[in-house]
Amino acid sequence: MSVVDTRRDQIFPHLAKDQIEQARRFACGPPQRFAPNKPLFRQGERNASSFIVLDGEVEVYRHDSAGQESLIVEHDRGSITGELSQLAGRASLAEGRAGPNGCEALAFDAPHLRALIIGSAEVGEIIMRAFILRRTSLIAEGGTGSILVGRASEVNLLRIQSFLARNGYPFTVLDVDNDEEGNAMVERLGLVDNDLPVLICPNGALFKRPSDAEAAQCLGMMPDLDPNIVYDVAVVGAGPAGLATAVYAASEGLSALVLDGRGFGGQAGASARIENYLGFPTGISGHALTARAFAQAQKFGAEIAIPIEVRSLTYKGSPETRRFTLDLSNGQRMMARTVVIASGARYRRPEIENLSRFEGGGVSYWASPIEAKLCAGSDVALVGAGNSAGQAVAYLSPRVKHLHLIVRADGLEASMSHYLIDRINALPNVTKHFRTEVQKIVEGPGETISAVVVQRKDQKTPEEIPVGHLFLFIGADPNTDWLKDCSVNVDDKGFVLTGRSAPEDGGSRTPLETSLSGVFAIGDVRASSTKRVASAVGEGAQVVAAIHALLANSK
């Protein structure tokens, strides 16, 4: 059964009379009357309001790849329109029209909607749950959002799929090789192989071989940043640490800007299951956990811009009057009074022959449902011995024919949690190869992987293991290249020094403050940090107290 079938009352709740009266205080203005079939909001429209229906009905439609529309829901008295896009003023994923008898409704733009959710805890809980579940159901059921047309195993198609999935954006994939509708789409649009993959946006715009930034811009995922605003805090990185900073800073009245070049969640967002995070005894996927944090940060009004990379950090003024400037990949410059470095780490690339040829196709640095679907029923290899590797093994093994776990060390005990080792030992289709390294990827027909060549320490001759996909979980290097032109000190591995480890420029250092007053570092990017989600979240909360203290003493 679908999410809508099992949780319909929560997805489409009805506010009671007293709850509607509470909501009136936060509306944009008095109730509005809409004539029959009059649009309240259109698919792809930015900053579309949400509406609480007072009388009549609002019919909400989605549009498919052929331009046909289908009814999602009919909202009647007490219902509220919208989903997570409305919370942050992003592009609407559906179209809403007044019913055949017209309707009367209260409008809530993004600021007023957030004020309602925060100002009325009871009503806010109902709305937040409904919006989160609506987005979940849109992703699960398909037919809404963008349309991707291409070949299932093509690298650029996988890249865009991964980008949209990591950012919790619904999409539909039409495979031109195995889908009649995909073939028909190619013919109808006059596309050739070099045009693929194609992205068709909800507003009808078409992009050939789009970049992640082009996809985000077309789909209305990015905010309109105002370079004249000086934010209280700019957070670089939207992993657990950065999102925690955004939640606590925004909830305490600080203006917060979060920038990330890939998507929310960081490496934690790619974890198939996190089982040792406090409060989730049955475990939770990294994406589900960080998606909730992403929605929570937006609820409190944090501005989150994805995918935008920070290219450099510069500053002017004394420690008391300092202003920081962040140069962005889209050509803009944003200013902030403080900066939090939460840029985490980038996946480490081992020295394997032919590696770059297959990255994004047959080689993956994470194990999401997209990769699992590609590998279903085939043999795969996974390199790594940490907890992220163990979680990936447990996630992939039921979905593949056989999994070869390749580990350079003598065992797993020194680097992996005991519960994951026990789980792996119980998996019947996992073969462990200790004291072994991958040397080469063997190309198969159609630019696919047919095998990996491994070298065991106790053997002189390399061995070839037939696999169709290679997963790499061998750790990560700090993402700090963008700091090279400022006075933030790093250790010999590139991790940011903080607290007593950071040389001072005339002032004392709080534990998370870097060598540059007003700049802090948290999470995996910080030297000597504990590489755990709980630690990252804790540092994200802790750093806000230090920011408050610094801003109180600055001009």
Verify that 361 and 491 share a domain, yes or no: no
Question: Both 125 and 182 in a single domain?
Answer: no
**Using DSSP, how many helices (H) and how many strands (E) does the chain show?**
16, 26
Residues 289 and 187: their CA atoms lie apart, in Å, by 41
* pLDDT tens profile 450-460: 999 999 999 99
Tens of pLDDT, residues 42-72: 988 999 999 999 999 999 998 865 667 889 9
Q: Report, as an integer, the average pLDDT of 399-417.
A: 96
Q: What's the domain range around 412?
A: 355-474
Which of residues 109, 141, 173 is at a domain's end? 141
Q: Residue 206 domain-assigned?
A: yes
* Same-domain check for residues 461 and 394: yes
Residue 529's alpha-carbon distances to 31, 94, 221, 540, in angstroms, are 52, 43, 32, 12
Vertex 152 angle, CA 147 and 154, to 5°: 105
The band of 502, judged by pLDDT with boundaries at 50, 70 and 90, is confident
Ordered strands of the 379-383 beta sheet: 363-364, 469-472, 379-383, 402-406, 430-433
pLDDT at 299 over 90: yes
> Beta strands of 302-387 (E only): which ranges?
303-305, 310-316, 323-328, 333-341, 345-347, 363-364, 379-383
pLDDT at position 65, please?
Answer: 59
CATH code for position 186: 3.40.30.10
**Predicted model pTM:** 0.91
Give 208: exposed, middle or buried? Use CB within 10 Å, 0-12, 13-18, 19+.
middle
CATH of the domain at 328: 3.50.50.60
The whole-angstrom separation of Cα 58 and Cα 291 is: 28
Q: Summarize the confidence of residues 81-95 as an average pLDDT.
A: 94
Cis upstream peptide for 281 (omega within 30°): no
546 pLDDT more than 70: yes
Looking at the structure, do residues 58 and 92 belong to the same domain, yes or no?
A: yes
pLDDT at 1: 64
Based on the fold, state whether residues 107 and 29 are members of the same structural domain. yes
For 323-347, what is each residue's pLDDT tens digit? 999 999 999 999 999 999 999 988 8
32 membership: H or E segment, kind and range: strand 32-34
Q: What is the spatial distance between Cα 266 and Cα 286, in angstroms, rounded to a whole number?
A: 9
Mean pLDDT of 504-512: 71
135 and 7 share one domain: yes
Predicted local distance difference test score (pLDDT) of residue 66: 60
Same domain, 168 and 42: no
- Residues near 290 by beta carbon (within 8 Å), at least 6 away in sequence: 239, 240, 243, 264, 265, 266, 268, 269
